Structure 1
Amino acid sequence: MMETMYKIRTLEKLVDVGTEDGLIDKTISKLIQYKTGKIERELQELEGAMKKFESKYHKDTETFYEQFEDGGLGDEMDFFEWYALCDMHKRIIQRLNIAERG
């Protein structure tokens, strides 16, 4: 990860001093498109897993999350897994928002 950040900073410095030739912009745009697509696929997979819990327990994820946070549900393993999926969903949405701004 540190090596990647070093390379990104190097590219940033090169662009800052005027060595931009269009290739960097096109390449970065393609990388962002690739990452956005990958994140969207992760999101679909995660939402599919959440839908299974919604069907099983006859409630939407938002309602479940509020009830779980309030302590209104038991200690079933499914609930902890569903809750973990909710947290993962939040992080994926954050990453997707960042990628889409790029």
Structure 2
Amino acid sequence: MTSGQQTLRKIQSLEQLYRRGYHSDMIDTTIEQLIAREQTQAKQAFARLTATLHEFEERYQFSSEDFYRQFQAGELGDEADFFEWSAFYQMWLATQEQINLLNAAGG
């Protein structure tokens, strides 16, 4: 069993306890602190990725969204820069989703 699977089992066990009426101020505070820390890290990563995308946008004179759509449709060449830009855009999208989920979890 991987570390991630073990963590998920622990979270599920805590969820079951809470659904049965268990409550712990220490767990509540710890979870809030963990979410806040993850939010901060995700926002920092998002800012770095945004800066990287802006560099590509300035170099090629179109938005990352337009680039990605065209790249996925096979309308652009297979330059190494394009594969790199695509990877950064995918990371940017994933980080944006992570931030949204963390914001929802943080209340």
Q: Could you tell me the TM-score, scaled by structure 1's length? A: 0.89
Q: Report the aligned-residue RMSD.
A: 1.4
Alignment of 1:15-26 (within 5 A): 15-26=18-29
Task: Find runs of 4+ consecutive structure 1 residues off by over 6 angstroms.
Answer: none
Q: Which range moved further: 67-76 or 38-47?
A: 67-76
* Pair 1:59 & 2:52 matched: no
Q: Output the CA distance in 1 between the equivalents of 2:24 and 2:69.
A: 51
Q: Output the CA distance in 2 between the equivalents of 1:70 and 1:14.
A: 48
* Pair 1:42 & 2:52 matched: no
Residue equivalent to 1:77: 80
Task: Give the deviation of 1:101 after TM superposition.
Answer: 0.2
Deviations 1:36-75 (A, max 9, x none): 1111111111111111111111211122112212322111
Q: Output the CA distance in 2 between the equivalents of 1:32 and 1:19.
A: 21
Q: Which 5+ residue runs of structure 1 have no aligned equivalent?
A: none
Aligned residues: 102
Q: Could you tell me the TM-score, scaled by structure 2's length? A: 0.85
